[in-house]
Amino acid sequence: MSSTNHLPPQIDRTNDTAFFGHPKGLSTLAFTEMWERMSYYGMRGLLVVFMVLAVQESGFGMSEQSANAVYGLYTGAVYFTGLLGGWMADRLIGGQKAVWYGGIIIMLGHISLAIPGTNTFFLGLILVVLGTGLLKPNIGAMVGQLYSDTDERRDSGYTIYYLGINIGSAIGGFVCGLMQVKYGYHAAFGAAAVGMGLGLIQYKLTAKNITAVFDRPTVQMSSNAVKLSWSIIIGVMLVLAIITILAMVGTLVINPVAITGYIATIVFSIFLIYFGAIYFKGNLDEHEKRKVGALFLICIASICFWAGFEQAGSSFNFFAENNTDRMIGSFEIPTQWFQSLNPVFIIVLSPFFAALWINLGKRMIQPSYIVKCAAGLIIMSSGFFVMFFAAYFAADSMKVAPTWLVMTYFLHTVGELCLSPVALSAVSKLSPRRFAGQLMGIFILTYSIGSLAAGLLAGLVNTGEAQVEPSVYMQVALFGTTAGIILYLLSFKTRKWEKSGLTE
């Protein structure tokens, strides 16, 4: 397939300061993403609990282990399809169409979820995965295209954008949780559809703010290459449709736990092979090899981190539902409200962490990327020590106070702020320029692998035996802490790798 870069001319937005000193287009993208995240996290917080409900209660009567596996498949697929959605926008349809059609597919997915029935439920999940894969990577790329390479407002613009993400996430947990309590699960899924619909309406009404922003493919392909690409995409969709129909009519029986394990193995193998190909066959010089070696360790840290962090929507969700005393007087806290703790903590803590790194820099204290990632992994793992004690007390058929979950989510958020933005920065800085895009794609695979592993890990927690839960949480805590300590010890060597070519 022959292709050439074909970047469209950008409109100069240096003097556009209509949205808090930023281009008006930032408001269009930030509010679209806010509503999309409202729908995504609002629905995500309902999934596993809904799937294990008895059929009489409108659920599916799944085992908690199977529900956790489906959750892992769902979240892992969301990140994996993001790679494909970014590729389609770059080469076939442009970012603006990807966001628009992705949002429509997401809304249709939530509508399908709102219709009672096993078939409509799983069809809805598939549609949300496909739509999110189109929308999520490309709307973030469009934010960057609002600014020229020399525009110093870029970092600040992304801060506002991420604020929109977390506001939407918090709203989703509160609104969908309340809707579920008052009107049931399908009404809550419908609320997620309304949220995405509002995002689409404001995106279309304010489209003039993003004129010429990623409105066409950035890579010009030959007509034959375009035809072949669409043929492959249509073929894949047909195969997916056939598998879905066979599963719906019962001809194909899918074991979600086994499928999750197979897919996790496949994706991890792809990660290792692709990374190895770049390292050994990419004609890297010695300095580049050292930096890529440091980046590999950061990717492993990311996989371990997300495998633990993504317990939020699975095993922690079950803990909130079954083992947490949620009564305040005569009011029962909806289970889904605990899902809003993370985005609320991020909104509160982000300014503190931004100031922390700046102040450390002023004091000539600059922890390496791997030290920061190790700290994030250890802090996240400490949340599992908290959950060990919570699960230990709950094992005696005693519901525990919600403060255990609040403390866990707080520690996980602190760990996320240490690791997640730092790891993204490391990918952009340590990647050889000719492999920057590919290594970012490989790094995104760590989210997918971690999410798939999280589903399997949650299945070990929720076996139905009360004594197993604290034991698994302790093992996760010890594993994560040990991995963090090993990373920290390796940092004495890798600190030089990160700076290779700069100080030598």
425: Cα within 13 Å, side-chain hemisphere = 14
Q: What is the pLDDT confidence band of residue 501, given thresholds at 50, 70 and 90?
A: low
One domain for residues 266 and 155: no
> Is the pLDDT confidence value at 209 over 70?
yes
Higher pLDDT, 89 or 9: 89
Confidence of residue 141 (pLDDT cuts 50, 70, 90): confident
Q: How many domains does the chain have?
A: 2
Per the structure, the complete domain to which residue 262 belongs is given by 255-504
User: Does any domain span residue 243?
Assistant: no
Residues 203 and 63 in one domain: yes
In angstroms, the Cα distances linking 223 to 1, 26, 86, 123, 230 are: 10, 33, 20, 33, 11
What are the pLDDT digits (tens) for 324-364? 999 998 899 999 999 999 999 999 998 888 787 677 766 76
Residue 183 lies in a domain: yes
Residues 10, 145 contacting (CB under 8 angstroms): yes
In a domain, 248, yes or no: no
Q: Do 204 and 260 sit in the same domain of this protein?
A: no
- Taking a C-beta distance cutoff of 8 angstroms, is the pair 412, 309 a contact? yes
Mean pLDDT of 280-304: 91
- Domain stop point among 220, 247, 270: 220
Q: How far apart are CA 308 and CA 48, in angstroms?
A: 17
Percent of the chain with pLDDT over 90: 60
pLDDT tens by residue, 308-318: 999 999 999 99
The token pair at 433 is 């320029």
Which one of 165, 199, 220 terminates a domain? 220
Over 60: is that where the pLDDT of 124 sits?
A: yes
Q: Domain check: are 212 and 323 in the same one?
A: no
Dihedral sign, Cα of residue 348, residue 349, residue 353, residue 359:
positive
Same domain as 366, residue 309: yes
* In a shared domain, residues 210 and 324: no
Look at 463 and 289; give whichever has higher pLDDT.
Answer: 289
- Asked if residue 239 is part of any domain, the answer here is no
Is residue 316 in a domain? yes
For residue 159, count other CB atoms closer than 10 A to its CB: 12
Q: CA-CA distance, 393 to 132, in Å (whole number)?
A: 39
Residue type, 422: V
Q: What is the pTM of this model?
A: 0.88
Same domain membership, residue 267 and residue 209: no
What local confidence, expressed as pLDDT, does residue 504 receive? 42
Among residues 264, 217, 229, 286, which one has the least CA distance to residue 453? Answer: 264
Is residue 227 a part of any domain in this protein? Answer: no
Whether residues 216 and 346 share a domain: the answer is: no
Is residue 209 within 8 A of residue 24, CB to CB? The reply is yes
In this structure, are 203 and 319 located in the same domain? Answer: no
Q: Name the band, by pLDDT with cuts 50, 70 and 90, for residue 464.
A: low
In a domain, 238, yes or no: no
Query: Which tokens belong to 79?
Result: 């990140």
The DSSP code for 12 is -
- 355, 362 Cβ separation under 8 angstroms: no
Mean pLDDT computed over every residue of the chain: 89
- The answer to whether residue 30 scores a pLDDT higher than 60 is yes
The larger pLDDT score, comparing residue 376 to residue 356, is at 376
At 8, the pLDDT band (50, 70, 90 cuts) reads low
Residues 75 and 199 in one domain: yes
In a domain, 226, yes or no: no
Picking from 136, 116, 109, the residue whose alpha carbon sits closest to that of residue 32 is 136
Look up the CATH number of the domain holding residue 480: 1.20.1250.20
Q: Is the pLDDT of residue 413 over 90?
A: yes
Residues 374 and 488: beta-carbon distance below 8 Å: yes
C-alpha count within 13 angstroms, C-beta hemisphere, residue 86: 17
Q: Which of 410, 34, 415, 421 shows the shortest CA–CA distance to 200?
A: 34
pLDDT at residue 9, as a whole number: 56
User: Do both 396 and 464 map to the same domain?
Assistant: yes
Q: Are 207 and 132 found together in one domain?
A: yes
Q: Is the pLDDT of residue 101 over 90?
A: yes
